Amino acid sequence: MGLCGLVWRRIFIVLIFFCGSAWGELVIKVTKGNDSPTKIAISPIINTTSTEPFDIGRLVENDLQRSGFFITTPREDMLSFPSMVKDVYFRDWRLLGSDYLVVGKMSSEEFDKIDIEFSLLSVASKEVIFRHKVSGSDSQLRDLGHAISDKVYHAITGIRGIFSTRVAYVTAVREADGMTYRLHVADADGAREKLMLRSNEPIMSPSWSPDAKKLAYVSFETGRPAIYTQNLATAAREQITNFGGLNGAPAWSPDGNELALVLSKDGNPEIYLMALESKKLTRLTHHFSIDTEPAWMPDGKNLLFTSDRGGEPQIYKLNIATTAIERLTFEGNYNARGSLAPDGRTLAMVHRKSGAFHIAAFDLQTRRIRELTTTTLDESPSVAPNGAMLMYAMKQEGRGMLAAVSLDAGVKYILPARSGDVREPAWSPFVR
């Protein structure tokens, strides 16, 4: 497939894959976990102060189990339910084979404020690894639970947890009067889905601002592609492009002041920068080929993009100050849709091999490619802000759905909707 085909494939992909009849929250099914998972027990955190019937301990269990690096001790096997360190009998937990134990207690000393004090303990050494407290309101119980999961995950793995992050994605359903497209934002576990935009025309390419407070995306609601930004808290929208031809692939700069985007207003798809305050445009590429899919490097001084200037879609690096361009990928006849890990070294991308589109990891230092997926129509990789996982779109049994894989391919899970199809994932930055 040439890059012209790639561009129009990106534009019309929703029409090909979105054919569901209904929509619901994402559900998560772990399909592959770590070969030697850590066994951890989460003693129930008794909800004595909140009016919400919500089991925070169960949420923490689900978070850690979903990561693929942990296996949790079933509650029905527990010999006691301690809430404080002084109540722990380590012998009981050794008998269950637990490596770690989390205990916690909920309290409330102020109106509409809940405190959860929790501790992580090593069963083998009988030591307290840390004590910590999180606070919030009744409406923030899920946030408190994810914060506990993040803290525990980081302490054991040394990797920052991503349970408090969010994902944006696009769905479509076939209704009596045609297709309906929706832009959603949800927790990383698929819960608390929030509708940001509904349209009878395609929506695509959601991109998070670095402070996780806004999205940029492409909408066809005016009859042609245009780029919008939207505040997630207020739902306020702004249309920032209205040029003839292609307006696509928005990508926020690391400082949030600019968008890299693709415009064909001068006759050919090229990479531009837009200063968001002044709306001033700066054209960065000048080539008769198609240049598309810009992605920022962490230094904010370089962009990666896809181009067929070498005869087939490959990924290139562009220095913004000098506009010097360097080709990065050579292996395979199709490498596109790059998403860079925060370390600036590992690039997730769509890689074609033997006619199948897989997600692969490309090491920018060694220039080696590792295939991470085995299905045949994988696309739209989005790397998590901790660089450990990535989310992508796939097709299985005729349905479009999201999936996630660790960058070492050791952990995999899928996020199908309860019904209908879902595409275009974008993993948020860390929520500050």
- The CATH number of residue 149's host domain is 3.40.50.10070
pLDDT value of residue 379: 92
Q: Please state, rounded to an integer, the average pLDDT across all residues of the chain.
A: 89
| Judgement on whether residues 375 and 266 belong to the same structural domain of the protein | yes
- Classify residue 368: in a domain, yes or no: yes
Last residue of a domain, one of 157, 192, 212: 157
**Best CA proximity match to 391, nearest among 419, 376, 411, 369:** 411
| Judgement on whether residues 385 and 250 belong to the same structural domain of the protein | yes
Q: Give the total number of structural domains in the chain.
A: 2
Q: How far apart are CA 32 and CA 411, in angstroms?
A: 5
Q: How far apart are CA 353 and CA 376, in angstroms?
A: 9
| Judgement on whether residues 79 and 21 belong to the same structural domain of the protein | no
Last residue of a domain, one of 110, 140, 157: 157
Q: Which burial class, exposed, middle or buried, applies to 404 when counting CB atoms under 10 A from its CB (0-12, 13-18, 19+)?
A: buried
The average pLDDT across 401-416 equals 86
Q: What is the CA radius of gyration of the chain?
A: 23
**Contact predicate 291/305, CB 8 Å:** yes
Share of the chain above pLDDT 90, in %: 73
| Judgement on whether residues 197 and 135 belong to the same structural domain of the protein | no
**Taking every pair of C-alpha atoms in the chain, what is the biggest distance, in angstroms?**
73
**Contact predicate 11/75, CB 8 Å:** no
Entry pTM? 0.89
State pLDDT tens for residues 126-173.
999 999 999 999 889 999 999 999 999 999 999 999 999 999 999 988
| Judgement on whether residues 125 and 219 belong to the same structural domain of the protein | no
- Classify residue 54: in a domain, yes or no: yes
Distance set, CA 411 to CA 66, 111, 400 (Å): 9, 42, 20
Query: What residues make up the domain containing 260?
Result: 3-26+164-427
State pLDDT tens for residues 33-63.
777 899 999 999 987 776 677 899 999 999 9
The average pLDDT across 253-257 equals 96
pLDDT value of residue 23: 39
- pLDDT interval class at 14 (50, 70, 90): very low
pLDDT value of residue 381: 95
Distance set, CA 339 to CA 223, 384, 405 (Å): 29, 10, 14
- pLDDT interval class at 15 (50, 70, 90): very low
| Judgement on whether residues 83 and 9 belong to the same structural domain of the protein | no
| Judgement on whether residues 143 and 190 belong to the same structural domain of the protein | no
pLDDT value of residue 34: 74
Q: Are strands 29-32 and 70-72 parallel, antiparallel or unpaired?
A: unpaired
Q: How many C-alpha atoms does 405 have within 13 Å on its Cβ side?
A: 23
Q: Are strands 100-110 and 38-42 parallel, antiparallel or unpaired?
A: parallel
The CATH number of the domain holding residue 243 is: 2.120.10.30
Which residues 6+ apart lie within 8 Å of 335 measured at CB?
306, 313, 314, 315, 329, 349, 350, 351, 352, 360, 362
- Classify residue 262: in a domain, yes or no: yes
| Judgement on whether residues 273 and 346 belong to the same structural domain of the protein | yes
The average pLDDT across 257-286 equals 96
Edge-to-edge order in the sheet of strand 247-252 = 247-252, 258-263, 270-275, 281-283
pLDDT value of residue 275: 97
| Judgement on whether residues 40 and 145 belong to the same structural domain of the protein | yes
- Classify residue 432: in a domain, yes or no: no
- Classify residue 398: in a domain, yes or no: yes
| Judgement on whether residues 207 and 295 belong to the same structural domain of the protein | yes
| Judgement on whether residues 40 and 18 belong to the same structural domain of the protein | no
Which residues 6+ apart lie within 8 Å of 110 measured at CB?
none
State pLDDT tens for residues 312-359.
999 999 999 999 999 999 998 999 999 999 999 999 999 998 788 999
**Best CA proximity match to 329, nearest among 377, 369, 357:** 369
Last residue of a domain, one of 99, 130, 157: 157
State pLDDT tens for residues 277-314.
999 999 999 999 999 999 999 999 999 999 999 999 99
Given a cut of 50, whether residue 106 has pLDDT beyond it is: yes
| Judgement on whether residues 375 and 276 belong to the same structural domain of the protein | yes
